[in-house]
């Protein structure tokens, strides 16, 4: 991969600010999904990858396996950022603010989050003056023993105004759609996430089990409550249709372990505040009771805390 203004590759990262490297596209967050996007993009254009630290960037530059290929990304830490035309944010929702700060420093034409949870408002506030939106992706990838495993093709949705970014992603082989009603698409994804992930994480079961007895009872209650809230938000969806959607996704991803489950098992913070927490905030706005979501929210937070307490004690 070569940079557009410099042919020195990763070493260009050390150049003084006024001569910093420039990329058509940068990805903030070199995790499972960030590396999946970066690996495909890097085959067709210079792609910058921004890590949490300089040390992590150096590790990545040494190489990382994505699918069947070894990727040696143009990785940067926050101290020596390149500039970029378009930035995609793929950190976990709770890391959105520092990621947005980093994105702004790359002076982009636009920033697109492809995160789960509801983060658009937060990103727009932090990126005032820069085009910013939260898209939706059904691409999937997970980490396994130090490598990234792509988990099936999906679709990437973004709003109007992002056509140049859409073209770049299509060149890299992604299926991309410019979506007029992105808010509705985000709410539909939220419905599925808040109905499956907390059940999978609490009972430590793969997605497919969530819609089977005895777990289906909880998933159905979460779906019914969420459907009422999302309908009040303007989403055209009834309880039956909502449940059919949840069942279809659980079946299509039956063997997957939800990211919330993976986070709980690994002792990491989950995205619960931006998923169930976001739904609870919407419910409060519409004065709709969501007791099952509140219970699952508390239980997942308890699990997160007990894990971090156990880690602190060792």
Point out which span in 61-69, 96-104, 173-181, 283-291 binds ligand NAP (CB under 6 A): 96-104
Which of the 8 DSSP states describes residue 29? -
Residue with tokens 């949870």: 117
Examine residue 115 and tell whether it contacts ligand NAP (CB under 6 A).
yes
User: Whose CA is closest to 299, among 259, 270, 262?
Assistant: 270
Which of the 8 DSSP states describes residue 215? T
- Cis amide leading into 125 (omega within 30): no
User: Whose CA is closest to 23, among 96, 61, 74?
Assistant: 74
Examine residue 271 and tell whether it contacts ligand NAP (CB under 6 A).
yes
Examine residue 32 and tell whether it contacts ligand NAP (CB under 6 A).
yes
Closest contact distance (angstroms) between CB of 289 and ligand NAP is 27
147 three-state secondary structure: strand
User: Whose CA is closest to 157, among 132, 178, 134?
Assistant: 178
Examine residue 132 and tell whether it contacts ligand NAP (CB under 6 A).
no
By CB under 6 A, name the one of 20, 22, 52, 74 that touches ligand NAP: 52
* Closer residue to ligand NAP in complex, CB, 224/257: 257
Q: DSSP H helical segments within 153-238, as ranges?
A: 163-171, 182-203, 216-232
Contact 172, 43 (CB under 8 A): yes
Distances (CA, A) of 103 to 24, 36, 49, 98, 194: 13, 19, 11, 9, 28
Point out which span in 89-97, 124-132, 174-182, 223-231 binds ligand NAP (CB under 6 A): 89-97
By CB under 6 A, name the one of 3, 47, 116, 195 that touches ligand NAP: 116
Q: How long a stretch of residues is the chain?
A: 314
By CB under 6 A, name the one of 13, 21, 50, 118 that touches ligand NAP: 50
* Closer residue to ligand NAP in complex, CB, 31/73: 31
* Closer residue to ligand NAP in complex, CB, 190/216: 190
Examine residue 259 and tell whether it contacts ligand NAP (CB under 6 A).
yes
* Closer residue to ligand NAP in complex, CB, 102/237: 102
* Closer residue to ligand NAP in complex, CB, 190/228: 190
Query: Which residues between 162 and 201 bind ligand NAP (CB under 6 A)?
Result: none
Closest contact distance (angstroms) between CB of 35 and ligand NAP is 8
Q: Which residues contact 85 (CB under 8 A, 6 or more apart)?
A: 23, 24, 25, 108, 109, 164
Closest contact distance (angstroms) between CB of 91 and ligand NAP is 4
Examine residue 56 and tell whether it contacts ligand NAP (CB under 6 A).
yes
Point out which span in 29-37, 155-163, 164-172, 201-209 binds ligand NAP (CB under 6 A): 29-37
157 three-state secondary structure: strand
- In angstroms, rounded to a whole number, what is the distance separating the alpha carbons of residues 266 and 314? 15
Binding site for ligand NAP (CB under 6 A): 28-34, 50-52, 56, 90-93, 95, 98-99, 102, 115-116, 137, 140-143, 151, 259, 271
């Amino acid at each position: 991969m070569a940079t557009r203004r410099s042919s020195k590759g990763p070493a260009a990262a050390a150049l003084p600010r006024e001569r910093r490297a420039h990329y058509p596209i940068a990805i903030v967050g070199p995790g499972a999904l960030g590396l999946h996007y970066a690996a495909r993009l890097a085959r067709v254009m210079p792609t910058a990858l921004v890590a949490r630290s300089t040390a992590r960037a150096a590790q990545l530059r040494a190489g990382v396996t994505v699918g069947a290929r070894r990727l040696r990304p143009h990785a940067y830490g926050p101290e020596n950022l390149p500039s970029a035309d378009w930035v995609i944010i793929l950190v976990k929702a709770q890391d959105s603010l520092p990621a947005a700060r980093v994105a702004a420093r790359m002076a982009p034409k636009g920033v697109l989050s492809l995160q789960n949870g509801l983060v658009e408002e937060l990103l727009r506030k932090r990126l005032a003056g820069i085009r910013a939106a939260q898209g939706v992706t059904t691409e999937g990838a997970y980490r396994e023993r130090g490598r990234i495993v792509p988990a099936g093709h999906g679709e990437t949705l973004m709003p109007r105004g992002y056509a140049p970014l859409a073209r770049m992603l299509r060149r890299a082989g992604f299926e991309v759609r410019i979506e007029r009603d992105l808010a509705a698409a985000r709410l539909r994804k939220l419905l599925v996430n808040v109905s499956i992930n907390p059940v999978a994480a609490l009972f430590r079961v793969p997605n497919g089990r969530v819609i089977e007895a005895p777990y289906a009872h909880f998933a159905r209650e979460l779906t019914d409550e969420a459907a009422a809230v999302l309908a009040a938000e303007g989403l055209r969806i009834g309880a039956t249709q909502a449940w059919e959607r949840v069942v279809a996704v659980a079946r299509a991803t039956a063997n997957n372990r939800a990211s919330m489950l993976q986070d709980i098992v690994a002792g990491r913070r989950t995205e619960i505040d931006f998923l169930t927490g976001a739904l609870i905030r919407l419910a409060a706005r519409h004065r709709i009771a969501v007791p099952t979501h509140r219970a699952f929210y508390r239980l997942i937070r308890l699990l997160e805390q007990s894990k971090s307490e156990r880690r602190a004690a060792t």
